[in-house]
Every structure is written in C-alpha cells, then in structure tokens.
Structure 1
Amino acid sequence: MDGFATFITGIEQWAWIGWLVLIALFLVIEMMTLDFTFLMLSFGSAVGLITDLVGLPLWAQVIIAAAAAALFIFFLRPPLLHRLRRGEDPTKSNVAALIGLRGTALQDITKISGQVKLSNGDTWTARSLDGTPIIEGSRVAVAEISGATAIVRPVIE
C-alpha cells in the first residue's frame, strides 16, 4: 500500500502540469472547432489549476473543475454564441434559397424528367414531388433539391 500512496502523492504534487496540459489541449481543439465548448472546458481546467495551487486534494480538484466546466457550458457559452451569431446575415443562400421558389414548367414534368424555369431566371431539370404529372406552362414551387434536379410540386393560384 505504501507504493500506491507514494504514487498518488506524486500525482498530486505534479497535478498542476496536468491542468496546464489540459488547458492547452482544450484551447487547441477550440481553435479548430470554434464552438466555445472546449473553451469552457479550458476554463474549467483553469479552475482546477487554481484549486491545485490552493492546495486541495486531487479528487476535490477534479470535482470542482468538472462542476465549473459544466456551469460555464450551461451559463456562459449560450450568451457568447448569441453574441457571436448576432451579426450573421439571415438571408438564405445556395440550395436553401431555392426551396419554396416559384417557377413555370417549360415541359411536362413527371416523376423521372422535366424542366422548369424558376422566378430567379435559372432553368433546372425537374421531377414531380409525388410523381403526379405536371403539364407544360403550369406554375410550380420547389419542394427540395436533389443534386442538379429541382423536385417540384404544382401551385394552385
């Protein structure tokens, strides 16, 4: 038992290095993810480092660091994410901008083929959403995009 006690004492004596390594590791991961989760874990590890410097036992350091990280994740991260995203452009782009867009069938649209001209001026190959044929000249709306094909549904105006 004496060897195990010596081992634990050694770990507790050098725990501050472990906390520094965790802080650095979490910060590096945060730089790659930019999600604030690992930043909060890094803050929790900093609290663990402080508890080590105060002289608390290792088990207390781990519990306090975990509790601090959880508090940071639940209470500090959401407002930070909100502030980060408040300047985002809410305008839909790419494929998301095409969903719901209206258009006109340039040729009959079936479950396997067709062509549509959208209100933004683009011409797309098209398929009927539910397989019902849509005749040329009918008004349609884009329900989804599958590759380079617009899946459309008829619009009754």
Structure 2
Amino acid sequence: MEWFDEYGWQIWTGLMVLLAAAELLSLDLVLLMLAAGAGVGILTALIGLPVAAQIIAALATSVAMLALVRPGIVKRLHSGPELTLGHDALVGKQGVVVAEVSADSGQVRINGELWTARAYDETRVIPEGARVDVFQIKGATALVHEIPRLDPPPNHSEN
C-alpha cells in the first residue's frame, strides 16, 4: 500500500481516463459517473488522505452520481420535442371564415386549406371574414371560436 500512497493520484487519473474513454464506446453514462468518482479519488489522493478514505470517497461519489445525476441526464437526452401530427396539429391555429359559421355549418381557411367548420359555442354565428381560433377537430370538421376584434377608437377631429 505504500506504493499506492506514493502514486495514488496517478493511478486514479489513469482509471478516470480509462473509464471516460470506455464511456465513448458504451454511451450509457454509467462509466462516466464512475469516472467522476475516480476524479474525487484524485482529489483525495492529492490532499493526502489514506487509501481507504480515497476508495470510500470515490465509491460514494460514483454511487451518488449514478443515483442522483445520471437519471436526470438520461431523461433529458431521451426526450425530445413532442410531435403533433395530422388534425391535432391544427388545434390552437388561427383561420379565417370564408362562409358564415354557425352551430350547423360553415367554412374556414386554416393554413391555406379549406375546412368545414362549426361554432364551438353553439349560440354564436361567426360572420365571413372573421378570424377564428381552432379549439377542436371532430372528424373533418373544425370547431372554432371567433377572435374578438378590437376596433380602433373613432377619430374625433374638430372642425
């Protein structure tokens, strides 16, 4: 063990480099977490702690990294943007009424496409030319709601 006391930091450094290089082949982040533990082994060897303390510190760090850090990183790497495809991609979009929309019928243009539409609020009638939000798609019919228009205040000019 005298030899390890003298060359401990070099052994830990070699182990860390070996584990980090092996991680490039596995890409599972386990070996990288173990390499972080070896990094703590380097620090404990440099400050002169006994070999047993170096090993305990390296193991504790490795276990903590595997339990606390790795799951979050893996989750981030494996999740991506949520893709909405088909009709669901139209929900939340805006369109323009091309034929008056009521509870029974109507047509809107959404993303350049003509869609059959009905008013989401069955008591409303949406006039032609109004801008609408798409709330839901049922089959081939868009359920829409008129976007309230803010008319500019009248221009009061004094003569």
Q: TM-score, normalised by structure 2?
A: 0.50
The correspondence of residues 4-153 of structure 1 with structure 2, limited to 5 A, is 8-87=1-80
Determine the C-alpha separation between the residues in 1 that align with 2:10 and 2:81: 39
Determine the C-alpha separation between the residues in 2 that align with 1:19 and 1:88: 39
Count of aligned pairs between the two proteins:
83
Determine the C-alpha separation between the residues in 2 that align with 1:88 and 1:66: 36
2:71 maps to a residue whose letter is P
Structure 1 segments of 4 or more deviating over 6 A? none
1:53 maps to a residue whose letter is L
Residue ranges of structure 1 left out of the alignment (5+ in a row) = 1-7, 91-157
Determine the C-alpha separation between the residues in 1 that align with 2:46 and 2:63: 21
**Higher radius of gyration, 1 or 2:** 2
Structure with bigger helix share is 1
Determine the C-alpha separation between the residues in 1 that align with 2:19 and 2:48: 23
Q: Give the C-alpha shift of residue 88 in structure 1.
A: 7.3
Q: Give the C-alpha shift of residue 14 in structure 1.
A: 0.3
Q: Give the C-alpha shift of residue 70 in structure 1.
A: 0.3
SS in 2 for 1:35: coil
Percent of aligned positions with the same letter in both sequences?
Answer: 34
- Equivalent residue, structure 1, for 2:126: none
1:11 maps to a residue whose letter is F
Q: Give the C-alpha shift of residue 89 in structure 1.
A: 7.9
Residue ranges of structure 2 left out of the alignment (5+ in a row) = 84-159
Determine the C-alpha separation between the residues in 1 that align with 2:28 and 2:82: 19
Q: Give the C-alpha shift of residue 10 in structure 1.
A: 2.0
In the superposition, relative to structure 1, how do residues 88 and 62 fare at CA in structure 2: closer, same or farther (>3 Å)?
farther
